[in-house]
Amino acid sequence: MTAPDFTTLERRLREHLDQEHRYEHSLRVAACAQELARRHGIDPQKARLAGLLHDLARLYSPERLILETQARAMPITSVEREKPALLHASLGAALARERFGVDDPEVLSAIAKHTRGAPEMSPLDCVVYLADSLEPARTFAERAELWEYALRDLAGATRETMRRSEDHYARKRAAAEARASAS
């Protein structure tokens, strides 16, 4: 991969996102992804690029996520139809290609898998997934511990982080159902 011009990319990303909070998060994810990549012998520029561009569609409304996904004839699962925010990962990969000229399939895969992970993940997929989940502004209790784990063992930390997030969402769903049945 020829070296991307990160200064220009960051300026264009800031314009595209049009929100400082999301831009700062993207910079932190890029830095964390780069650090993990270096630690594990993965191309740090690909990691930085995927980290920077991972949330391109994060601020789109549910309606826009559905419409833009349909417009590209990309599949939408029943879970995604219920929770369109999940589509920001696959749509983000499409936007990285269309608007930012990224054609590296490894980078696009890492963007597409950053939210939920996937049964099959490359080391770069794991790096971006972990960087997004564990960047320093995340506040959950096990964050620092999982980050240390990620520096030592990419696959192990990915499994553990995915398991933790599944538990977290299962608890949230159960609490919402309990509230709904109590009202």
Q: Rule CB under 5 A: which residues touch Fe ion?
A: 55, 58, 132
Of 55 and 104, which has the nearer Cβ to Fe ion?
A: 55
Minimum distance from residue 21 beta carbon to Fe ion (Å): 11
Q: Which residue has the tokens 């997030």?
A: 165
Residue 80 to residue 87: CA distance in whole angstroms: 6
The CB density around residue 165, as the number of other CB atoms within 10 Å, is 16
For residue 54, give the nearest of 112, 6, 118, 99 by alpha carbon.
112
Of 39 and 138, which has the nearer Cβ to Fe ion?
A: 138
Minimum distance from residue 178 beta carbon to Fe ion (Å): 28
Of 76 and 85, which has the nearer Cβ to Fe ion?
A: 85
User: Are the beta carbons of 43 and 1 closer than 8 angstroms?
Assistant: yes
Minimum distance from residue 172 beta carbon to Fe ion (Å): 17
Minimum distance from residue 132 beta carbon to Fe ion (Å): 4
For residue 50, give the nearest of 132, 118, 120 by alpha carbon.
132
Minimum distance from residue 114 beta carbon to Fe ion (Å): 6
HSE-up (13 A, CA, CB side) for residue 137: 11
User: Are the beta carbons of 102 and 16 closer than 8 angstroms?
Assistant: no
Of 111 and 174, which has the nearer Cβ to Fe ion?
A: 111
| Three-state DSSP state, 72 | coil
Of 126 and 152, which has the nearer Cβ to Fe ion?
A: 126
